[in-house]
Copies of this chain bind each other. A is one copy, B any other.
Amino acid sequence: MNDALKRPIRAQSLVDVVTERLEAAIVNGELAPGSRLSEQGLALSLGVSRGPLREAIRRLEGRKLVQRTTNIGVHVTQLTGNDLSDLLVVREALEGMACGLAASAMTDADLDDLDRLLGEHGDQESVRDGTGYYQQSPDFDFHFRIVSASRNERLIQMLCHDLYDLLRVYRYKSSRFSGRATAAFEEHLRIAAALRARDPAAAEAAMRAHIRNARTHILAQIAADTTPV
A contact residues vs B (CB 8 Å cutoff): 10-13, 15-16, 51, 54-56, 58-63, 69-71, 82-83, 86-87, 89-90, 92-94, 96-97, 101, 152-155, 158
Picked from B51, B55, B60, B97, the residue with its CB within 8 Å of the CB of A90 is: B97
CB distance from A219 to the nearest CB of B (A): 14
Q: Is the CB of B70 within 8 A of A11?
A: yes
A134 CB to closest chain B CB (Å) equals 28
In the bound complex, what is the Cα–Cα distance between A59 and B90 (angstroms)?
22
For residue A208, which residue of chain B has the nearest CB?
Answer: B97
Q: Which residues of B contact A96 (CB under 8 A)?
A: 93
Interface pair A154/B62, CB less than 8 Å apart: no
Q: In whole angstroms, how far apart are the Cα atoms of A59 and B54 in the complex?
A: 11
Residues of B within 8 A of A55 (CB): 54-55, 58
> Of residues A56, A82, A86, A153, which shows the largest number of chain B Cβ atoms within 10 Å of its Cβ?
A86
Main DSSP-derived SS at the A contact region: helix
Check if A62 sits within 8 Å of B58, measured CB to CB.
Answer: yes
Report the bound CA distance from A96 to B71 in whole Å.
40
Q: How near does chain B come to A210, taking the closest CB pair, in angstroms? A: 15
Chain B residue contacts of A153, Cβ below 8 A: 82-83, 86
Docked-complex contact B54 and A90, CB < 8 angstroms = no
Shortest CB–CB separation between residue A166 and chain B, in angstroms? 9
> Shortest Cβ distance from A183 into chain B, in angstroms?
23
The CA-CA distance from A13 to B88 in the complex, in Å, is 33
Chain A to chain B contacts (Cβ below 8 Å), 24 pairs: A10-B71, A15-B58, A51-B51, A55-B58, A56-B58, A58-B58, A58-B62, A59-B59, A61-B62, A62-B63, A83-B154, A86-B154, A87-B154, A89-B97, A89-B154, A90-B94, A90-B152, A90-B154, A92-B97, A93-B93, A93-B94, A93-B96, A93-B97, A93-B155
